[in-house]
Each structure stands twice: as C-alpha cells, then as structure tokens.
Amino acid sequence: MLDCVLQSRAPQASASTQAEGARAERLAEQHLVKHGARILSRNARYKGGEIDLIGLHQGSVIFVEVRLRKDQSFGGAAASITPTKQRRIILAARLWLQGEGRAYRQHPCRFDAVLLDALDEQRVEWLQAAFPEQVR
C-alpha cells in the first residue's frame, strides 16, 4: 500500500506566479495594441490547448503565446515554447476558428510570441511568426 498521495496533474502555480503571468499578458496586450494589433480574444481555453491572446494585425489573425522567463538558465522565454506547447496552441487555434473565430477563417493566420525577461514594458519582445504552421 502506498503511503503517499498520487497527483494526477501538475501542481498549480502559486498565486504570485499567476499574478506575474497576468501582468505579463497585460504588458503584451498593451504592446501589441500600441503597434497596431486589435485584440479579439484573451485566454481562449479549449480541451488540449490554450491561447493567451488572439488578435488582428495587418490583416492576419495572430495567435499569441506570452512567455515570461526571468531566468535564462534553460534558454529563456523563446526556448520554453516547446514543440508540445506549439501543438497545443495550434489545436486551440483550430478550435477557435471553428467556433468563436469562424468569421476570421478566410484571414491569413500566424503564430506569434511575446517574450519578456522582466515585468517591464521596455523589455517586451514581439516575435512575429514565431513558429510555422498552417491552421486550416
């Protein structure tokens, strides 16, 4: 008989980590809007995937992953968008286009990332077309 409690999923992020993540997403949104994007949806969650921000930029639908990584030890924010994470974002993008975003199905789409190494609007990096994939 086991003397420990088995966890069926990853531990939940602490309240401070969640607050930092929300602040990073707000900074990312402000940066995108300042540079001509219009935000269509925030935190679109589906079984199997999630997208932090969805917007329109220069005629394209952008699916944006926001990553805050203060510690560069493991490659920083960009390196944290693994192939598994990319697949989950792509899945969520397809589901969004089938549902809430069906009016945008004929627009070109791309996957962007907003990278932060600090919670500072001067340190926001918008990486357009962060990874390739056809959504349709």
Which token pair is 60?
């394209």
Nearest to 33 by CA among 121, 136, 107: 121
User: What percent of the chain has a predicted confidence (pLDDT) above 70?
Assistant: 83
5 in Cβ contact with 96 (< 8 Å): no
Q: What is the pLDDT, as a whole number, of residue 3?
A: 40
Gap between the Cα atoms of 91 and 95, Å rounded: 6
Q: What is the pLDDT, as a whole number, of residue 6?
A: 36
Nearest to 123 by CA among 85, 67, 56, 74: 67
Given this structure, which CATH class describes domain 15-131? alpha beta
Q: Where are the domains positioned within the chain?
A: 15-131
79 in Cβ contact with 67 (< 8 Å): no
| Secondary structure letter of residue 102 according to DSSP | G
**59-63, 66-70, 117-121: range with highest mean pLDDT:** 59-63
Q: What is the pLDDT, as a whole number, of residue 135?
A: 55
Model pTM score: 0.83
Q: Is the pLDDT of residue 53 over 80?
A: yes
